[in-house]
Structure 1
Amino acid sequence: MMTKFWKPAGWAMAAIAATTAVAVAVPSAMAQRDPAYEAARSGGQIGEQPDGYLGFVSTPTPAVRDMVNDINIKRKAAYTSGAPAGSTIAQFAFITGCNLIAKTRPGEKYKAPDGRWLTRDGGEPVRDGNCP
């Protein structure tokens, strides 16, 4: 379980900035819906993690590993450049991770706060209690 590690004002600022990052800067859900990404995601090989990065649900092929590593490098760059004053890169990535997990589609995998990989159903995903 993630511990709340910034003041509420910083929390709101980070949440707003993270939403912007998800929509604009972070190469994630929309921009990455190419066929290879879509196949790995819908096939349950990869999923969103609470730390704001993609993770491997199962042992990946070299091509999937390279693709995810590239995406995660781009995410790290977006978190580094987009973290608002008063928050860390990790805090900003966590808030973005909360948002990315919330945006998963039914059938996609995501990592729950307890570390288990879950498959999104029609309901809300299980997210960290510190998610906005």
Structure 2
Amino acid sequence: MRSLIEKPVAATALALAMLVGLGMVAPAGAQSRGEAYSAAKAQGQVGEQRNGYLGVVGNQSADVRSMVRDINNKRRAIYTSKAASLSSTIDEYAFTTACRLITETSPGEKYEGLDGSWKTRGAGAPERDPKCP
């Protein structure tokens, strides 16, 4: 069992490792950031979830659902590799990445709020999970 000090230190170390050396996980989403992804994002059909994966907002076409599934499969592969290299769990790595991806959303884009509902990013910062590093 980790002490109360070790948990924040571990989370901070994980966040710093992400910022310093892994080229960030932007390529996870960028791998499928073609025109379809950009359009779906701009139209609010997809959004960043608090678990590090892309989500489908509402009822969307099979093409949008397939694109999201493909992006998430690629993200999971990256999360698995990066988490192992950092002696972290996939879920911890994905969560830390989600904190960054939600922060990087642009005004008008969707993200999962703290209450689990879809929010539209305004001009200000999105809601931030208090557990984010």
**TM-score of the superposition, structure 2-length normalised?**
0.85
Asked if the contact 2:31/2:71 (under 8 Å) is kept, the reply is no
Per the alignment, in what secondary structure is the counterpart of residue 110 of structure 1? strand
Pairing 1:7–2:7 present: yes
Asked if the contact 1:25/1:78 (under 8 Å) is kept, the reply is no
Cα shift at 1:26: 4.4
Per the alignment, in what secondary structure is the counterpart of residue 23 of structure 1? coil
Partner of 1:47: 47
Cα distance in 1 for partners of 2:56, 2:14 equals 26
What are the Cα deviations for residues 94-124 of structure 1, in whole angstroms up to 9, with x where unaligned? 0000000000000000001110110001100
Per the alignment, in what secondary structure is the counterpart of residue 118 of structure 1? strand
Same amino acid, percent of matched pairs:
48
Partner of 2:57: 57
Asked if the contact 1:22/1:99 (under 8 Å) is kept, the reply is no
Per the alignment, in what secondary structure is the counterpart of residue 47 of structure 1? strand
Asked if the contact 1:21/1:78 (under 8 Å) is kept, the reply is no
RMSD: 2.0
Unaligned ranges ≥5, structure 1: none
Q: Looking at both structures, which has the greater relative contact order when contacts are Cα pairs under 8 Å and sequence separation is at least 6? A: 1
Say how many residue pairs are matched.
126
Cα shift at 1:12: 1.4
Asked if the contact 1:79/1:92 (under 8 Å) is kept, the reply is yes
Cα shift at 1:32: 3.8
Task: Look at both structures and tell me which one has the larger radius of gyration over its CA atoms.
Answer: 2
Asked if the contact 1:26/1:78 (under 8 Å) is kept, the reply is no
Partner of 2:67: 67
Question: CA 1:25–1:17 in 2, change beyond 3 Å: closer, same or farther?
Answer: farther
Partner of 1:90: 91
Asked if the contact 1:22/1:100 (under 8 Å) is kept, the reply is no
Partner of 1:77: 77
Q: Which runs of 4+ in 1 moved over 4 A?
A: none
Partner of 1:113: 114
